[in-house]
Amino acid sequence: MNRARLALAALVSWVVYLGVSFLVHGVLLKNIYLQHASAMRPEVEASAILPLGFGFALLGFFAFAYLYARGCQGGGAAEGIQFGLLAGVILCSFGTIWDYMVWPVSPTLAALWMVDFLLEFALYGAIVGAVYQPLHRPYRVPLSV
């Protein structure tokens, strides 16, 4: 396992996540979040704990990259997309659907969260797959007897 590339893959994915999260949740979904303001923390309170979320996201990206490195064949971005989609399905199945059941949000917002998870994690998987490459061993011609 190439730990330096694993760390680089996690960090690059996390940095992209910071930008994508702002775009998705701060811009694209802003109006629908405003419609659900009564079910959410006030912005000032949410902003105060944002560093906690960023820290756990970084930890999550290290776990994500580690799982890719342990379980994938080193197929680059294409294999990373498949891995990311599987991670997105897991997040939707064990997280988003239960968030929808617990919190009073609309089916539209829950569906948007699921689409977001699938697309974002396909992107993060592509990044991890492209950045993390297994140590390639040079091809050696076998000695003839």
Global confidence as pTM: 0.87
Give the pLDDT band (50/70/90) at residue 137. low
pLDDT, tens digit (0-9, with 9 covering 90-100), for 71-125: 888 788 999 999 999 999 999 999 999 999 999 999 999 999 999 999 999 999 9
Q: Residue 143 domain-assigned?
A: no
Give the pLDDT band (50/70/90) at residue 2. confident
Q: Residue 112 domain-assigned?
A: yes
Q: Residue 42 domain-assigned?
A: yes
DSSP letter for 103, please: S
Residue 136 has pLDDT above 90, yes or no: no
Q: Residue 141 domain-assigned?
A: no
* Domain count across the chain: 1
User: Is the CB of residue 84 less than 8 Å from the CB of residue 126?
Assistant: yes
Q: Kindly report the average pLDDT of the chain as a whole number.
A: 92
Size of the chain in residues: 145
Q: Residue 140 domain-assigned?
A: no
Q: Residue 144 domain-assigned?
A: no
Q: Residue 38 domain-assigned?
A: yes
Over the range 128-144, which residues count as b (16 or more CB within 10 Å of their CB) and which as e? Answer: bbbbbeeeeeeeeeeee
Q: Pick from 98, 120, 100, 117: which is nearest to 108 by CA?
A: 100
Q: Mean of the pLDDT values across residues 38-66?
A: 95
Write out the residue range of the structural domain in which residue 119 sits.
3-131
